[in-house]
Amino acid sequence: MPRAVIVIDVQNEYFTGALPITHPVGHLDAILNVMDCADRAKLPTILVRHAQPDPKSPVFCKGSPGWELHASVADRPRDLLLDKQLPGCFTNTNLDEWLKAAGINTLTIAGYMTHVCCDTTARQAMHLGYKVEFLNDATGTLPVTNSAGSVTAEELHRSILVAQQMFISEVLDSATWATRL
């Protein structure tokens, strides 16, 4: 099956900025391993970078250090770099057209955050007819507290993975995924 890897928002904001990813342990190493496996298997790899549309945004402000791709990801081979301003990688981008032109029918999701951009992109992909593989150890999140309540990173990650597996994606670890290549 023609497959592509989408590496979503592996940007400095999640390492040295306001939104440090804490779960699962080893998330960045897993993402880098997925990128390396994709390169060896000659799978297309798409890097996605988020920018807030407000130039005064305290996070993901275009051109800021937090907006930059993490160096270990930026230095790896890629076939496409997409910039987005909303959670879904298909919204206001040419991703669907690019994938269709390349004959891709299966998307592997890695990156950040499990519960926002990864989840939204997987849902969009399924709606567009793609088969989706959601990597449970190569996606990551952080604890969240807001006016609706609080959730640990572990609870949030697990709940999104369970919801994804119900109908949207096949949830698997990156080692199992690599055996398919």
**Closest C-alpha to 121, from 14, 18, 47:** 47
Q: What is the pLDDT of residues 89-147, one digit of tens each?
A: 999 999 999 999 999 999 999 999 999 999 999 999 999 999 999 999 999 999 999 99
Residue 158: pLDDT band by 50, 70, 90 thresholds? very high
pLDDT value, residue 150 = 98
- Which pair of tokens denotes residue 99? 């994938």
Share of the chain above pLDDT 90, in %: 98
pLDDT value, residue 1 = 72
pLDDT value, residue 71 = 98
Determine the Cα–Cα distance for residues 162 and 160; give it in Å rounded to an integer.
5
**Closest C-alpha to 23, from 115, 108, 110, 139:** 139
Q: What is the pLDDT of residues 14-24, one digit of tens each?
A: 999 999 999 99
Q: Is 48 helix (H, G, I), strand (E, B) or coil?
A: strand
Long-range contacts of 90-94 (CB under 8 A, 24+ apart): 90/121, 90/124, 90/125, 90/128, 91/124
What domains appear along the chain, each with residue ranges and CATH number? 3-178 (3.40.50.850)
For the chain, what is the mean pLDDT? 97
Q: What is the pLDDT of residues 31-52, one digit of tens each?
A: 999 999 999 999 999 999 999 9
Q: Is 129 helix (H, G, I), strand (E, B) or coil?
A: coil
11 forms beta bridges with: 69
